[in-house]
Structure 1
Amino acid sequence: MEHFGKDVRREREWPASARMALAVVAALTFIAIAAAARAEVKPGDLITPANASKVKDLVSPGVYYKVVNGMEMKIIPSGEIDWPPPYKDATEKYSAQVRLSRDNRSLVGYVAGQPFPLIDTNDPQVATKIMWNNVFRPLLTDDYDLRFYDCESVYGGRNKPNNVIQYYQIGHYAGYDLVGRTEVEPMPIDPDFKKTNRLWLFALYPVLSPQAERGNGIIRYRYQEPTRGDDDWSWTAGTRRVRRLNEAIESTATSAQTWNPDHYSGFNAKTEEYNYKFLGEREMLGVAHAEHSPELKCSTDGGASACPEAWEMRHMYIVEAAPRRELISQALQSKTVIYMDSEMWYQPYIDEYDQRGQLWLNHIWWTTYRDRPVPDARVAIYPFKREFEVGAVATDVQSGFATMCYLPGLQTPERECWYINMGAVDKDFFTTDAMVKAAP
């Protein structure tokens, strides 16, 4: 340690020109390494387990596990993504007044749009700002209703048969934002926010399959107050009972699905309950222009992913999130590593690590960029392109157990699936009474 300290002091004594030269060399070395990695793959390549090593440094460890175990990638040219015009306008109008609180954890002055559109990677608070951009991302800003999607749980693996352990079908996966609204009145803030302090409402109900869980559902409220945890309720049709849930359960994979509510749509935990560390920025592979909707069931990994799908080079910020144990002592993760697309501001994937520091859960989201969620849509059609999530998988890499969700579903009656910022749901949808009444 003493020798290291002396080296650092000597470096600080170097002339400014020498330090600048060293920084330039380091930057050029990083660029050269990134360019060499990119050279390993090119548009038209098909990545399989046989040549998975080509992408080892271009994806997260969890995604690499998926490729080694059968998930195929079709490499395509990188495409551009633009924000919905109303979101862009709100960013220009309001972002200049946004700042972090004195303790650098909470958001102050936010109204709508992206809180921090100018990201400086040398900013000591860059990781926290990236995560607040994640909270108010352009993907979903006002309301959304994902109708009739389905999921399959399997033990995936290279060339394994698609033996479905459990099939799930859900009636509604819906949300309503009270703050940051850009397309549907009331805008930009629902007056109810001043009364309740609720930032957003979420509901998943009713479960339509399996039969043993038919009618079940959950509701969740997120609050602006930094120290106030979420309110969560579940309805179990078998017992015909509404139950208040402990917030800590939202960060744990407690069901056979391997999904947990804090990761239903990317990293969705309460921002103030984690400490963040910026790990860097890199060019990495991700799916932003998926070619299939509904997604294709992967035949080369036992249905444990969607493949082959279009993967492209994306510029990503990498952030480590560690739970603040004084607030969520029951969290099973030691950390979550988030790979944030710097253009669409959504995570193509994240990796969760257990208490031993070992890779535990991998999550992948497949998104597409178009003016409608499915090619034959008749209602959900927009005057501009936006991102739609068309598939998602959560995988326990320690056991191979995976739950792959298809949006729209493979066996569901609703083909348009996503209704985003269309007023499809209002606040009345997010009550325990509504959840109980919807149970079949």
Structure 2
Amino acid sequence: MMIDYHAAVRGALFDIRDVCDSADEIARQARYLDDGLLFIRDGRIAARMSWQEGEQYLDPQKGYTDLRGHILLPGFVDAHIHYPQTEMIGAFGEQLLEWLSTYTFPVESQFADPAYAAEIAQFFIDQLLSHGTTTAMVFCTLHPESVNALLTEALKRDMRLIAGKVMMDRHAPDYLTETAEQSYRQTRELIQRWQHQGRLGYAITPRFAPTSTPELLDAVRRLREEFPDTWLQTHLSENPNEVAWVNDLWPEHARYLDVYHHYQLTGERSVFAHGIHLHADEWQCLHDTGSAVAFCPTSNLFLGSGLFRLPACWRHKVRMGIGTDVGAGTTFSMLRTLGEAYKVGQLQSYRLRASEAFYHATLGGAHALRLDDKIGNFAVGKEADFIAIDPAVTPLQRLRVERCKDVYETLFVLMTLGDERNIRETWINGQRAWAASATPVG
């Protein structure tokens, strides 16, 4: 047997074998090699095996990257994030609707400037990679310039990124409002330019029902029919006042989700952020249509929006990914975000195990975005997007990890004590895309 490869990486390997429909199944599907080898060819996983088994296949002239002491994980998948809100992260003192008008809309107005959009796009992509995120579903602004800047930068890095221009035609400042026809035309042009460029995808992006007239949502429906291989992203049932507002604006529909479902916006490749205040009928609709939700714990806690019901998500078998939701979310770090997800579960007497948490951030997130045939674990043939984590970069972490009984306890400690300093390397499509330049200190 010979293995044709261009790169090999040695380290501890952790992933989940297959898509799961319960936390218990995730625990059964988890696999770990304390000394493993990844062989990479043409940007894909060519083989995954133990060091003892794989050493014989190494080409002395090619060598290998030695990352012993690190845990190699599939790259993190961020199912919901706003790149224009990067600069306003941590804005004080408001809940959702007031937060939008006070902070978000003024900041987003700057992205009509292509140079400014390009500056923030580069910073944003750098942040994703340095925090271990290799795939993200991203909101841009109303301006086509914001999409062009972000996807141009992502294409340079060969990233698997999905993004779209925000669409809204009411209940926003005049400088961020468009007509439904203008929104349709600009979005259509962007889809034709960017869908399937490199590893990119396009998400049709109505901001949410309150900023959408019936005409706009009908335009979104038309785009979905014309381009069925695009994604759709929007917000759903994040805040009680938002839900009440939707009920007032759309009295002909029984529930918030019914508005989107009426315009045929539910379905495969549709991702609804938050989904905190859902009725059982809405959970059932999400399941029946193959739609997905994005659980955004840091954002939900920061804005006081409520607690996402992970048990209900499992019970109704709805696809789910984790979103940092920067800038209402307070970190790009998936490790920190998983720690907050654990606390959300604790407040509802649900114990989020490490295996389940890392599933949601990798293969589960890929499954929510309908990308699990391409990314999410170390299966042979998958794209080689992965990260190297040092589990002990501070004195406290070293003390704690030395006392961990197994990899699951180590991963849980990473969720509770870890952050971006633990990310040592990020690989994109089989190439090292980012590496820590200095050893972090505690």
Provide TM-score, normalisation by structure 2: 0.27
Structure richer in strand, relative to its length: 1
